[in-house]
Structure 1
Amino acid sequence: MNKGLGAACVVASTLLTVSACSNQAPVNSATSTTHSSASASSSASNTAQVNAMHNMERLHQHQWQLVELEGSEDVSGYGGKPISLRFDSAQQQISGFSGCNRYFGAYTADQTTLSLGHLAMTKMFCQQGMALEAKFAKAVTQVASYEVVDQTLTFIDQQGTAVARFKKD
């Protein structure tokens, strides 16, 4: 027998024995790539879930002040006071100042969707703030989802357009 061929047989036999005794399946590039892709996809999915849950926490932990309504940054109500918003998760209610009056209303939310009903308001009359208040009351009925990024809460309608933006108070 040729010495080169005999050495090759010994090496091949040793590799087969080691592979057969190992608890791990042989690794090939297709398995590694699939596993890496699945891990990356799973990691991205987990990150999205954590961010979504974080959205819910941040939504409820703060009072918010309106900084933009339907593209306009002119959002000062009566006496220059900004519209405010607070979520009460225990009662599933929102409340705040709407430009002239105080308001409250029901809401439902999950990690990304948000539905606000019509608002009940006190009935004061104000020279300044009534038009803003009416615009705000109409805008909240169009909200379909929300996003919290850094210190900003954005209400988004079904077309994906930002309806209102709030800053953390």
Structure 2
Amino acid sequence: MLMSGKIILGLLILTACTSLRKIPDLGGLRWGLVQLQNEKLDSSPVYIQFDTSAHRFTGNAGCNKISGNYTATDKALTFAEVISTRMACLDTRANERESQLLRLLNNHTYAYDINGATLQLKDSGKVILRFKGF
């Protein structure tokens, strides 16, 4: 009887510790895109912002506004139902980059980490998207 009580107490403590893992705070910053797959971006207009209470994100993909839903755990960040406006984009490279970003975000789950003002989204250990907070 005493042994089973200790086991139950141990499981309760383990469950409490697991549920106390802190989910990194994505809100409060505008996350500017600085790396898109292997391409480093200088002075990119691309950014996203997270509304942590509504679990939505908004931003600018270069030529168009973007938004969608997201869910975050302590290990994974999932983007869903990503939409964008459909403004004409005269810069061919910006248009290609925007299309690529939308494909990478829509209905994808990434491992992520925040280190200071850097947000990295990873797939199979490889950085796919890197953002700097400002």
| TM tier, smaller | 0.7 to 0.9
Distance in 2 of aligned mates of 1:117 and 1:127: 27
Distance in 2 of aligned mates of 1:144 and 1:98: 19
Moved over 3 A (4+): none
1:107 and 2:75 are equivalent in the alignment: no
Offset at 1:161?
1.4
Distance in 2 of aligned mates of 1:152 and 1:127: 30
AA at the equivalent of 1:72: E
* 5+ residue gaps, structure 2: 1-16
Alignment of 1:1-169 (within 5 A): 53=22, 56-57=24-25, 59-74=26-41, 81-128=44-91, 129-141=94-106, 142-157=108-123, 159-169=124-134
For the pair shown, which has the larger CA radius of gyration, 1 or 2?
Answer: 1
**Residues 60 and 86, structure 1, Cα contact 8 Å, conserved in 2:** yes
TM-score (norm 1): 0.61
**Residues 69 and 75, structure 1, Cα contact 8 Å, conserved in 2:** no
**Residues 75 and 111, structure 2, Cα contact 8 Å, conserved in 1:** yes
Percentage of matched positions with identical amino acids: 26
**In proportion to residue count, which structure has more strand?**
2
Distance in 2 of aligned mates of 1:130 and 1:119: 17
Q: Deviations over 1:12-34 (max 9, x none)?
A: xxxxxxxxxxxxxxxxxxxxxxx
Greater relative contact order structure (CA < 8 Å, 6+ sep): 2
Give the number of aligned pairs.
115
TM-score (norm 2): 0.76
